[in-house]
């Protein structure tokens, strides 16, 4: 029996049980094809296929995309784990977090001299040999028996969330088996660009940036982010809740309330500490700038921090950057002719800095008000003058860019970088991407407060990511302090809201459907928690509703 595949305006035929790997080699593309999309769902190029309909839809993922680079990194990781087991069998490694285009792995125990070099040499040997990655589809129970000797308890705990009798994918290389969340490349020859570098308590695997798949950039350390990651990861380990398997066990045992209370208390403690830092600088500090990527929880952070500042006797005065937008007709445009509302030049920098200067001199200023319906900036009638104990609090994506507040001396301002840096992994070797957590937050918030369906949010996500890469991430190292808004339990709560939205997306939605299936696969591992126990000042309430603070519209 043959499988008929419809790829754009062409048709191909595969034998039943055939794979996409040979076909992918023949398709012309600007960068190698590393994953298939079979009837709208992600699919390993090495996966044996069976016809699901008379004509099956087909597409491919290039490595020079965000999704393609995830496949590249997963492949590199499995290659590393196998090479490490062969070259340094006495050492175990655990995936921790990303730092730009590098993956940090913590070593359990001190690394012996020459270990990193030996592992890298073995990896390069396997790349040169184009060592093939095996792929087997089997029942969950068979996979448990096969992977048991090669996988840790956290991986085995993941299988508890998979219904009995389900079919799962098991990968192999050089006789070692592994379970990975997502596709791998067909062989090691697909991932020639990498380097291993000693870092902290282990090493980093440095790999190419999205868009430059065949160029290895210099490793760009992110000490502020790394310290933020480490603090949260160590705290998660302390309470024995750093993987989805561990979280699921806690929820099933009836202790979800305790985890939620402890996680929220940690946020409150960190915000109180930040307020104390501001208080210690009150003689010179007049401006607090809060910036971070989409759905990082900037609004709730600003409001909760303001409360803690008030506890210390300070007077926080919020200013909305949205009200300083230029009139729509004067807004810069993107190459396709649409307005670029996320670029710095969309803000009237001259007016904003004039108001900052006057306020810091003790003068009275009338704040503007931007009318999003008409696209015009109007008079608000609201005048402010700073009290000696007042501190301006400005929240927006450009807060870390010095051009935004050029009129204010550096000593008079503090930059706070806010992001959702999840400490949760699926298991020791499968990360939960922080971008996915933010995307789920945004999708739920857009539906709750902006009446947008999930397909629309998913369709706009790449444009949002473009703005982050251009206007936020390049400036994150200039922040004075970082605040991690992730909550260790949040996927368990977001699942209740996100899953029905994702299930509503149909195959006709194209790329949005493919992303929806991937996110549903992630959420399927997570035991759900009802939202009633979430406090009304939680950052998570900014996205699911019920916040004591004003919702963002």
Has residue 39 been placed in a domain? yes
pLDDT of residue 544: 96
Same structural domain for residues 24 and 84? no
Among the three residues 197, 221, 245, which one is the final residue of a domain in this structure?
Answer: 221
Q: What is the pLDDT of residue 156?
A: 79
Q: Are residues 365 and 509 in the same domain?
A: yes
10 Å Cβ neighbour count for 300? 23
Does the pTM surpass 0.95? The reply is no
The CATH code of the domain that includes 321 is 3.40.50.300
Q: Residue 553: inside a domain, yes or no?
A: no
Range of the structural domain that residue 369 is part of: 226-544
| Nearest C-alpha neighbor of 138 from the set 176, 177, 168 | 168
- CATH code of the domain in which 52 resides: 3.10.20.30
Grouped pLDDT means (10 residues each) for the chain, 553 residues: 92 95 94 96 95 95 96 97 94 90 91 94 98 93 79 80 87 92 96 96 96 94 89 87 92 94 95 96 95 93 96 93 92 89 92 94 93 90 90 92 94 95 89 94 94 93 90 92 95 97 95 96 94 94 90 42
Say how far apart CA 163 and CA 141 lie, in whole Å. 10
Structure tokens at 207: 């790999």
- Give dist(CA 188, CA 202) in Å, integer: 23
Distance between CA 96 and CA 226 in Å, rounded?
10
pLDDT at 451: 87
Query: What kind and span of H or E run contains 195?
Result: strand 195-199
Of the residues 221, 250, 275, the one at which a domain ends: 221
Q: Does 550 fall in a domain?
A: no
Residues 199 and 98 in one domain: yes
What is the pLDDT, as a whole number, of residue 424? 87
* Residue 304 placed within a domain: yes
Residues 16 and 91 in one domain: no
CA atoms within 13 A on the CB side of 448: 20
Considering all CA atoms of the chain, what is the largest pairwise distance in Å, rounded to the nearest integer?
81
3-state secondary structure 1-28: CEEEEEECCEEEEEECCCCCHHHHHHCC
Based on the fold, state whether residues 284 and 377 are members of the same structural domain: yes
* Cα 452 to the center of its chain, rounded Å: 21
Distance in angstroms (rounded) separating the CA atoms of residues 147 and 164? 16
Place of tokens 């009995």: 164
User: Looking at the 3D structure of the chain, how many domains does it have?
Assistant: 3
Rounded Cα gap, residues 271 and 418, in angstroms: 12
**Residue 273 lies inside a defined structural domain of this protein:** yes
Distance CA 180, CA 487 (A): 24
Three-state SS at 248: helix
| CB contact at 8 A, 168 and 143 | yes
Residue 551 domain-assigned (yes or no): no
Q: From 94, 100, 104, select the one nearest 200 (Cα to Cα).
A: 104
Q: In 211-248, which positions are buried (b, 16+ CB within 10 angstroms) versus exposed (e)?
A: eebeebeebebbebbbebbbbbbebbeeeebbbbbbbb
Q: How confident is the model at residue 322, as a pLDDT?
A: 87
Q: Are 153 and 248 in contact (CB under 8 A)?
A: no
Give dist(CA 370, CA 352) in Å, integer: 13
Same domain, residue pair 238 and 379:
yes
Q: How far apart are the first and last CA of the chain?
A: 54
One DSSP character per residue, 84-138 reads: HHHH-TT-EEEEEEE-SSEEEEEEESPPPTTHHHHHHHHHHHHHHTTPBPEEEEE
Sign of CA dihedral 419, 420, 424, 429: negative
Quick one: 290 and 207 in the same domain? no
Is there a single domain that holds both residue 423 and residue 513?
A: yes
Do 208 and 295 belong to one domain?
A: no
Residues 6+ apart with CB under 8 A from 359: 365, 384, 385, 386, 392
Looking at the fold, whether 57 and 191 belong to one and the same domain comes out as no
148 and 28 in one domain?
no
CA distances from 423 to 53, 192, 232, 522 (A): 41, 29, 6, 16
Q: Which two tokens stand for residue 373?
A: 């319906």
The answer to whether residues 377 and 370 touch, using CB atoms and an 8 Å cutoff, is yes
The pLDDT of residue 70 is: 96
Distance CA 337, CA 351 (A): 26
Kindly state whether residue 179 falls inside one of the protein's structural domains.
yes
Last residue of a domain, one of 166, 192, 221: 221
User: Rounded to whole angstroms, how far apart are CA atoms 434 and 423?
Assistant: 9
Residue among 228, 256, 375, 393 nearest 321 (CA): 393
Tokens of 111: 């690394």
Give pLDDT, residue 553: 36
Residue 123 tokens, joined:
């990896």
CA angle 312, 313, 318 (to 5 degrees): 95
Q: What is the CATH number of the domain that holds 203?
A: 3.30.980.10
Instruction: Tell me if residue 364 falls in helix, strand or coil.
Output: coil
**Residue 549 resides in a domain:** no
Same domain as 82, residue 25: no
The answer to whether 293 and 368 are in contact (CB under 8 A) is no
């Amino acid at each position: 029996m043959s499988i008929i595949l419809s790829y754009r305006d062409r048709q191909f035929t595969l034998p039943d049980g055939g794979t996409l790997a040979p076909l992918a080699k023949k398709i012309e593309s600007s960068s190698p094809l590393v994953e298939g999309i079979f009837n709208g769902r992600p699919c390993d190029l090495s996966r044996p296929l069976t016809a699901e309909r008379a004509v099956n839809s087909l597409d491919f993922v290039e490595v020079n995309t965000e999704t393609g680079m995830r496949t590249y990194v997963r492949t590199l990781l499995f290659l590393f784990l196998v090479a490490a087991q062969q070259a340094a069998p006495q050492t175990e490694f655990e995936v921790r977090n990303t730092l730009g285009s590098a993956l940090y792995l913590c070593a359990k125990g001190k690394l012996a001299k020459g270990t990193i070099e030996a592992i890298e040499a073995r990896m390069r040997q396997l790349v040169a040999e184009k060592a093939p990655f095996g792929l087997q589809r089997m029942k969950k129970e068979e996979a448990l028996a096969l992977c048991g000797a090669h996988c840790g308890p956290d991986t085995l705990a993941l299988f508890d969330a998979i219904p009995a009798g389900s079919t799962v994918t098991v990968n192999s290389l050089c006789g070692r088996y592994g379970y990975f969340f997502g596709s791998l490349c067909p062989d090691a020859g697909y991932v020639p660009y990498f380097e291993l570098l000693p870092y902290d308590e282990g090493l980093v695997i440095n790999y190419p940036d999205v868009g430059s798949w065949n160029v290895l950039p210099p490793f760009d350390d992110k000490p502020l982010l790394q310290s933020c990651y480490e603090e949260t990861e160590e705290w998660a380990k302390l309470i024995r809740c750093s993987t989805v398997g561990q979280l699921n066990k806690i929820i099933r045992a009836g202790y979800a309330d305790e985890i939620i209370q402890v996680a929220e208390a940690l946020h409150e403690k960190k915000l109180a500490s930040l307020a104390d830092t501001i208080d210690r600088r009150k003689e010179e500090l007049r401006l607090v700038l809060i910036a971070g990527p989409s759905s990082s929880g900037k609004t709730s952070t600003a409001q909760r921090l303001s409360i803690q500042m008030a506890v210390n006797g300070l007077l926080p005065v919020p200013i909305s950057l949205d009200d300083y937008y230029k009139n729509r007709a004067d807004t810069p445009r993107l190459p396709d002719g649409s307005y670029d509302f996320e670029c710095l030049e969309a803000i009237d920098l001259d007016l904003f800095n004039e108001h900052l200067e006057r306020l810091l001199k003790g003068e009275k200023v009338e704040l503007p008000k931007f009318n999003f319906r008409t696209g015009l900036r109007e008079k608000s009638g609201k005048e402010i003058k700073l009290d000696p104990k007042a501190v301006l609090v400005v929240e927006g994506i450009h807060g870390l860019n010095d051009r935004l507040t050029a009129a204010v001396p550096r000593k008079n301002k503090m930059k706070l970088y806010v992001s959702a840096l999840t400490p949760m992994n699926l298991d020791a070797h499968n990360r939960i991407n922080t971008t996915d957590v933010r995307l789920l937050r945004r999708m739920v918030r857009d539906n709750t407060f902006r009446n947008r369906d999930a397909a629309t949010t998913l369709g706009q996500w790449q444009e949002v990511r473009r703005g982050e890469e251009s206007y936020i991430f390049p400036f994150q190292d200039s922040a004075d302090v970082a605040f991690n808004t992730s909550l260790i339990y949040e996927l368990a709560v977001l699942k209740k809201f996100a899953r029905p939205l994702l299930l509503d997306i149909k195959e006709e939605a194209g790329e949005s459907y493919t992303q929806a299936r991937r996110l549903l696969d992630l959420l399927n591992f997570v035991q759900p928690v009802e939202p009633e126990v979430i406090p009304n000042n939680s950052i998570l309430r900014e996205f699911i509703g019920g916040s004591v603070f004003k919702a963002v519209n």
